């Protein structure tokens, strides 16, 4: 069993397939399964320290659940997986299908390298695998709402059966071990592992699901599931969550579907991870040049707009940002600072503990106005009004901006209106939002009208 984005034992069809194959091939005393994880430098090196640190913790939790039998090898899977097969005599390799651009290429290479040993794909990280939901004419959906309706009509399997209690785990060769987690300094990550994922889900299902629709946009409150990092590494499967939702939980069901929609879009258009689906935004939009200082102010939370800065400081403090705030900070970068979405998306992927290529790239494209089912470019989030609406008492701002802790209530959103607003070193605004909004709209007129 080659684990990748499915670091769990429950509801794992690929793992059940490996167990079934082992028992079919082996005798009663030799029905062994090798639980393998390959530390692939192509993924590890690109992950950034936050996801690297979380992955090490997630692997440690998985290893514990396997009674210390997780075999870890370091290197290119095209080399490592056949090496394990050759050293152990494994008769088949089992995986959950990967639909990402790199994953598809990697798995095809491994399949060739394995020769006559089959690479068996069972399940995927999604309730409905990308490519399954198609329009009547056989083309992929480009708009979320009809995709959601079709996704619900299509349905998904029930959670997979539990694994037997008498599995014979076997490393079969020397494990190269879990790497040392990078030092994150003051950034603190939540606990990792399948058990923690289920505990977090049960807490949210019991205490937060009923108020999710009402509170999910409030940055100052814990109104979201905060389960994205567990879904990212497959410590819990979305199918498991969907099985526990009722008809009253439609809003949360839709949020799970957004993840599946973006995965489907990326599978259909792998280049959209870094290229705008509307090519005019890459080829014709007059983006700012020599904007490194502006980008640095945005990235470090020093724009002078408290709601934006609180979000970017949260990112570097927790490796996570509230979804409403993600949209606001993205809008500010693209439409107030006139910097392409790709640069912001890369910054997010470096810091986010739940960084998922499909969701991140297409979430940014949605805000930038250049993606599938995108918010129109002329919808420019006002960072002050957004803060006052979704952090009405200023609690979120004060939590991450100690320079504004002395400003009570919603006054924290407009320090420039108060004589002591800058008393503790908070920066003044680097741009004027009203003026830059006009610039953004003028820039947009440069783009040619879409052809029929």
Confidence of residue 451 (pLDDT cuts 50, 70, 90): very low
Confidence of residue 450 (pLDDT cuts 50, 70, 90): low
Query: Which member of 2, 201, 258, 366 is catalytic?
Result: 258
Query: Which member of 151, 298, 320, 341 is catalytic?
Result: 341
Exposure of 54 in the CB half-sphere (CA atoms within 13 A): 32
**178 belongs to a structural domain:** no
**264 belongs to a structural domain:** yes
End-to-end alpha-carbon separation of the chain, Å? 49
**346 belongs to a structural domain:** yes
- Residue 87 sits in the same domain as residue 223: no
**319 belongs to a structural domain:** yes
- Measure the CA–CA gap between 311 and 317, rounded to whole angstroms: 10
**452 belongs to a structural domain:** no
What residue numbers bound the domain in which 209 lies?
Answer: 126-158+193-268
User: How does 196-205 read in b/e, with b if 16+ C-beta sit within 10 Å?
Assistant: bbbebbeebb
Q: Which residues sit opposite 23 in a β-bridge?
A: none
Cβ neighbours around 57 below 10 Å, total = 18
What is the average pLDDT score of the chain?
Answer: 95
pLDDT at 26: 63
- Residue 80 sits in the same domain as residue 146: no
- Residue 301 sits in the same domain as residue 427: yes
User: Could you report the per-residue pLDDT of 277-312, keeping only the tens digit for each?
Assistant: 999 999 999 999 999 999 999 999 999 999 999 999
Q: Span 8-26, mean pLDDT?
A: 92
Whether 151 is a known active-site residue: answer: no
Which of residues 207, 238, 268 is at a domain's end?
268
Closest CA relative to residue 34, chosen from 8, 79, 2: 2
Q: Span 247-273, mean pLDDT?
A: 97
Query: Which member of 217, 287, 414, 443 is catalytic?
Result: 287
DSSP track, 221-255:
S--S---HHHHHTTSS-HHHHHTT--GGGHHHHHH
Whether residue 143 has pLDDT greater than 90: yes
Domain holding 373: CATH number?
A: 1.10.579.10
Q: Span 347-367, mean pLDDT?
A: 96
Which of residues 268, 298, 313 is at a domain's end?
268
- Measure the CA–CA gap between 372 and 266, rounded to whole angstroms: 10
pLDDT at 52: 97
- Residue 114 sits in the same domain as residue 133: no
107, 113, 116, 122 alpha-carbon torsion, rounded to 10°: -10
Whether 67 is a known active-site residue: answer: no
- Residue 262 sits in the same domain as residue 296: no
User: Could you report the per-residue pLDDT of 212-256, keeping only the tens digit for each?
Assistant: 999 999 999 999 999 999 999 999 999 999 999 999 999 999 999
Whether residue 365 has pLDDT greater than 60: yes
**404 belongs to a structural domain:** yes
- Residue 435 sits in the same domain as residue 297: yes
- Length of the chain, in residues: 452
**Element spanning 363, H or E:** helix 357-368
- Residue 394 sits in the same domain as residue 406: yes
Whether 323 is a known active-site residue: answer: yes
Whether 255 is a known active-site residue: answer: yes
Residue of 372 and 66 predicted with greater confidence: 66
Quote the pTM value.
Answer: 0.94
Query: Which member of 298, 320, 364, 366 is catalytic?
Result: 364
- Measure the CA–CA gap between 37 and 326, rounded to whole angstroms: 32
pLDDT at 315: 97
If you compute the radius of gyration of the chain from its CA atoms, what whole number of angstroms results?
23
**171 belongs to a structural domain:** no
Domain holding 96: CATH number?
A: 3.40.50.620
Please give the share of the chain, as a percent, with pLDDT higher than 70.
98
Whether 287 is a known active-site residue: answer: yes
- Residue 82 sits in the same domain as residue 59: yes
Token digits of residue 150? 């079709």
**What is the total count of domains within the chain?**
3
Whether residue 5 has pLDDT greater than 70: yes
Query: Which member of 76, 156, 169, 323 is catalytic?
Result: 323
User: Could you report the per-residue pLDDT of 55-104, keeping only the tens digit for each?
Assistant: 999 999 999 999 999 999 999 999 999 999 999 999 999 999 999 999 99
Exposure of 210 in the CB half-sphere (CA atoms within 13 A): 3
- Residue 299 sits in the same domain as residue 431: yes
**179 belongs to a structural domain:** no
């Amino acid at each position: 069993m080659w684990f990748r984005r499915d670091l769990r034992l429950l509801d794992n069809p690929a793992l059940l397939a490996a167990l079934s194959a082992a028992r079919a091939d082996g005798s009663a005393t030799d029905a062994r399964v090798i639980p393998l994880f390959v530390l692939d430098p192509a993924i590890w090196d690109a992950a950034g320290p936050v996801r690297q640190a979380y992955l090490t913790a997630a692997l440690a939790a998985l290893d514990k659940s396997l009674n210390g039998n997780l075999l870890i090898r370091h290197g290119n899977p095209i080399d490592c997986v056949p090496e394990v097969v050759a050293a152990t005599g494994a008769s088949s390799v089992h995986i959950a299908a990967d639909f990402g651009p790199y994953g598809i290429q990697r798995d095809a290479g491994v399949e060739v390298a394995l020769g006559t040993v089959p690479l068996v794909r069972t399940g995927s990280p999604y309730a409905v695998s990308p490519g399954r939901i198609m329009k009547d004419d056989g083309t992929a959906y480009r708009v979320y709402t009809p995709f959601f309706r079709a996704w619900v009509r299509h349905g998904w399997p029930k959670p997979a059966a539990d694994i037997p209690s008498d599995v014979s785990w076997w490393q079969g060769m020397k494990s190269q071990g879990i790497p040392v987690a990078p030092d994150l300094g003051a950034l603190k990550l939540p606990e990792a592992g399948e058990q923690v994922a289920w505990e977090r889900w049960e807490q949210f299902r019991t205490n937060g699901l009923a108020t999710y629709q009402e509170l999910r946009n409030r940055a100052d409150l814990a109104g979201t599931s905060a389960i994205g990092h567990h879904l990212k590494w497959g410590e819990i499967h979305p199918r498991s969550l969907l099985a526990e939702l009722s008809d009253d939980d439609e809003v949360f069901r839709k949020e799970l579907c957004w993840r599946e929609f973006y995965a489907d879009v990326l599978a259909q258009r792998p280049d959209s991870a870094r290229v705008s689906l509307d090519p005019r935004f890459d080829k014709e939009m007059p983006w700012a040049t020599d904007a490194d200082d502006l980008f640095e102010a945005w990235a470090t939370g020093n724009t002078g707009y408290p709601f934006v800065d609180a979000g970017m400081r949260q990112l570097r403090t927790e490796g996570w940002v509230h979804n409403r705030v993600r949209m606001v900070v993205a809008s500010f970068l693209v439409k107030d600072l006139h910097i392409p979405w790709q640069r912001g998306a890369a910054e997010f992927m470096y810091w986010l503990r739940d960084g998922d290529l499909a969701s991140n790239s297409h979430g940014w494209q949605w805000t930038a106005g250049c993606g599938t089912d995108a918010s129109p470019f002329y919808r420019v989030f006002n960072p002050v009004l957004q803060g006052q609406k979704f952090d009405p008492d200023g609690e979120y701002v004060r939590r991450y901006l100690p320079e504004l802790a002395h400003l009570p209530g919603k006054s924290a959103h407009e320090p420039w209106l108060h004589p002591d607003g800058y008393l503790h070193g908070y920066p003044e605004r680097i741009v004027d939002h009203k003026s830059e909004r006009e610039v953004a709209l003028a820039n947009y007129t440069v783009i040619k009208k879409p052809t029929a």
